Chains A and B, each alone.
Chain A
């Protein structure tokens, strides 16, 4: 949205979607589209298809590094919290142990490590996926409600430099798509 409340300036449609028979056909189509030079596209399937990462050229997500950073923060934070609370701010002699009795801090530090890492893994994934996103143009595609059961779609997006309504539709048809349709916003 711009300040004037107009719709954003951009391609009038989101892209061109094609439905395919099964996972094999979808993967083959994605590979062919990449070979053809298309770069901006996405595949939609009812279950993860491992071959798709390579077919679409999806790069490894940075999620593991976010989780690692969160884990380090949780570990250092867990130890730091216990050290500050039981050595600096409120020192107490318990069972004659030294104030810095680190072995007894390991369980809590471990839990804070896991807590922060796990929350980062889950919510980091949501954030990178752009969730929550209840509306998306793909939902306008006819039969897309079957994508969570047994339908397979490939969508070449309109902002791809090579995108052309007729050419792209013809190309997708040539890949053996069962159905090709424009994706409206």
Chain B
């Protein structure tokens, strides 16, 4: 058999200005609506803001993590997602700006430890005050963003150089930034998850918490990238170059992250459940009553069981239209996971009372901006690293 398939030119960017503009308009409208919420109830407003922010920054940071993982491990799956993931990384500066309201104002409404009166009387919070204080929270946030944006910029800049010059030494830059950046990311994300999420329950602690967030980020970003790539593959150059084998590999990785997410989440639960210690178990008791138990079971069923079973099938992983739906489901369920993790700690024992219209408005508001930025970034470079030394082998001749 002969393979004289026409290989489309991968070096030209794809124009995504129109969808980007739509996303921006949707985001702007939702933001205006969401801002009304501040007048209704500022506390609920910041809670919704925090969850939406977390959801979208998880996507940005998941992209960063995936790019670093693939630079360290190699493998052809990385070649297909690298540029798309880099477009996600480049939303980080915008996310840093969006964090400012939380750091300056939201912190006082969200965290009980930020109240000096509580910090003075509650002995546990008093003990933690050297870490849990407003100035520390703000300084650490600056450090986190500097690290993330720094590592992301170095990687993106290396890719620019590769696209422009085809310099083979870029590979070394990638590996070095990914090795050092990966370690810094792992630690900084752990503490960011502690600062922004875990400290909502100032008495509670779990060493697994950061890892759950990190794996959730990888899962969410993988699903979002897969979703994007499948949509983009309706047109050239990805119509030809996003091959079924590559999609199959990405589907397997999404399955792997789904299993990992379930593994770390379940392990934390099993350990806390079995020991039943008074300083730990309230976290799960709260999530097992007042309507939250339905969300808990729903998460197990929809966030683990359904994608797990569906992704076991080879056919699903190799059919674009089916995998598109699975990826979309995983993306949506990431928000449910964030909501399950954060909302019970902020809004109390009844789930029905904990749902607000602002949550949806906030996700769409920040999401519109995020997607607009993401698509704009994506239009500014080639969709594939066409000058990577391994590009030909991995993409053009894949599967032959």
Contact = CB atoms under 8 A, between A and B. Distances in A.
Contacts of B312: 68
Interface stretch (B15-23, B82-90, B141-149, B266-274): B266-274
B263 to A, nearest CB: 10
A95 B276 contact: yes
Interface in B253-281: 266, 269-270, 273-274, 276
A101 B270 CA distance: 10
A145 B276 CA distance: 64
A103 B276 contact: no
Interface string B274-317: 10100000000000000000000000000000000000101000
Contacts, number: 16
A103 B314 CA distance: 29
A106 interface: yes
Nearest to A96: B276
Contacts of B276: 95-96
A167 interface: no
A96 B273 CA distance: 12
A129 interface: no
Contacts of B269: 103
A104 interface: yes
A83 B292 CA distance: 26
Interface residues of A, number: 8
B274 A106 contact: no
A143 B1 CA distance: 30
Contacts of A101: 273
Contacts of A106: 266, 270
A101 B269 CA distance: 12
Interface in A63-111: 64, 68, 95-96, 101, 103-104, 106
Contacts of B270: 103-104, 106
A103 B268 CA distance: 11
A176 B282 CA distance: 76
A129 to B, nearest CB: 21
Interface in A18-51: none
Nearest to A71: B312
Nearest to A51: B1
A96 B312 CA distance: 37
Interface in A106-147: 106
A106 B314 CA distance: 26
A109 to B, nearest CB: 12
Contacts of A96: 276
Nearest to A68: B312
B22 to A, nearest CB: 42
B314 to A, nearest CB: 8
Contacts of A68: 312
Contacts of A103: 266, 269-270, 273-274
A25 to B, nearest CB: 15
A101 to B, nearest CB: 8
B76 to A, nearest CB: 16
Contacts of A95: 274, 276
Contacts of B266: 103, 106
B119 to A, nearest CB: 35
Contacts of B274: 95, 103-104
A153 B330 CA distance: 48
A106 B274 CA distance: 13
A68 to B, nearest CB: 7
A106 B267 CA distance: 10
A95 B273 CA distance: 11
B193 to A, nearest CB: 23
B167 to A, nearest CB: 34
Contacts of A64: 314
A67 B314 CA distance: 14
Nearest to B314: A64
Interface string B203-219: 00000000000000000
A104 B274 CA distance: 8
A29 B314 CA distance: 30
A171 B79 CA distance: 45
Nearest to A101: B273
Interface in B315-353: none
Central interface residue in A95, A101, A103, A106, by most chain B CB within 10 Å: A103
Nearest to B274: A104
A95 B266 CA distance: 20
B269 to A, nearest CB: 6
Given A95-B274, A104-B273, 11 more contacts: A68-B312, A95-B276, A96-B276, A101-B273, A103-B266, A103-B269, A103-B270, A103-B273, A103-B274, A104-B270, A104-B274
6 contacts: A64-B314, A68-B312, A95-B276, A103-B266, A103-B273, A106-B266
Interface of B: 266, 269-270, 273-274, 276, 312, 314
- Counting from the closest, the 8 A-B pairs by CB-CB distance are A103-B270, A103-B273, A103-B269, A104-B274, A106-B266, A95-B276, A104-B270, A106-B270
